[in-house]
Amino acid sequence: MNVSIVKDDVAPWSREEFAARLQAMEPYYHIHHPFQVKMNSGQLSKAAVQGWVLNRFYYQTAIPNKDAALLSNCPDREVRRRWIQRIIDHDGNEQAEGGIERWVRLGMACGLPREQIESQRDVLPGVRFAVDAYVNFVRRASWQEGVASSLTELFAPTIHKERISEWPKHYPWIEQTGLDYFKGRVSEAHRDVAHGMGLTLDLFRTRAEQERALEILRFKLSVLWTMLDAMTMAYLYEQPPFFNVKGPLNV
Ligand code: AHQ
């Protein structure tokens, strides 16, 4: 990740300007990736949608570990009391199944067996590397930088709402109960972004810190974009890693 060197004597942006510059990163959001555009306009095959669900499961299961890493770096009880909800949102508890289970149900609604989803044997190397880069970044970064890296969810409600409206039209073979994940995530994302954005605007004060927050957001945007690049090669161009190699790996 290239770190821009900004002299500290440069005046920081106002809170409003800083927020606007974070929001202005929207064009880099993966809703604009060709794979995602094809998905939400009904141009993906059943195999490509299933491949996306199988690969994104790896991202979903990594989120609680990412958030636990952030919590382990955070000495502020007030922040932890709110941030810990993200782990429960994904792992669930006695009262709620959690997002990871809802994602399994999404996969089953797409005709995939639970065992195949949970085995993670279909996760592409490029997806794994991108997700691991995100988790490892949050593990070693300050908790404040970890907070900033979650702000791609500024743009998430739109992508979930698009799936909720478009998938039934384009993919009638998907059982509608599978969309529960996206329906639950809209409100969770709004709540998470309210907390994460408020913290980022409060904590990244100098111009150099504000620029750093933008760099971190750009890094996370590239994590999401790179995941779809790997899926594009595999499921649109049918050229998964080593597709043209004859050898023991291609069993
Ligand atoms: O389902 C998603 C989710 O649980 C999270 C957690 C959050 C984070 O902590 O980085 N980001 C995120 C996202 C989810 N869904 C993605 C999608 O396109 O379905 C969007 C993604 C994000 O915008 O970061």
Contact (Cβ atoms closer than 8 angstroms) between residue 186 and residue 157: yes
Say yes or no: CB of residue 63 within 6 Å of ligand 1: yes
pLDDT of 22 higher than 70: yes
Please give the model's pTM, rounded to 2 decimal places: 0.96
Cα(29) to centroid of ligand 1, in Å? 11
Residue to mutate (ligand 1; options 152, 182, 222; most atoms within 8 A of CB): 152
Question: Which CATH fold topology does 23-236 show?
Answer: Heme Oxygenase; Chain A (1.20.910)
Residue to mutate (ligand 1; options 37, 153, 188; most atoms within 8 A of CB): 153
pLDDT of 4 higher than 80: no
Tell the burial category of 27 from Cβ atoms under 10 Å away from its Cβ (0-12, 13-18, 19+).
Answer: exposed
Contact (Cβ atoms closer than 8 angstroms) between residue 152 and residue 79: no
Residue 26's CB is within 10 A of a number of other CB atoms, namely 14
Cα(87) to centroid of ligand 1, in Å? 13
pLDDT of 129 higher than 60: yes
In 3D space, the residue among 69, 99, 80, 117 whose CA is nearest the CA of residue 189 turns out to be 99
Say yes or no: CB of residue 163 within 6 Å of ligand 1: no
Task: Tell me the residue ranges of DSSP E strands in the chain.
Answer: none
Using DSSP, how many helices (H) and how many strands (E) does the chain show? 12, 0
In 3D space, the residue among 153, 152, 182 whose CA is nearest the CA of residue 165 turns out to be 182
Contact (Cβ atoms closer than 8 angstroms) between residue 125 and residue 230: yes
Cα(8) to centroid of ligand 1, in Å? 32
Three-class SS state of 110: coil
pLDDT of residue 8: 55
Task: Look over the chain and give the mean of its residue pLDDT values, rounded to a whole number.
Answer: 96
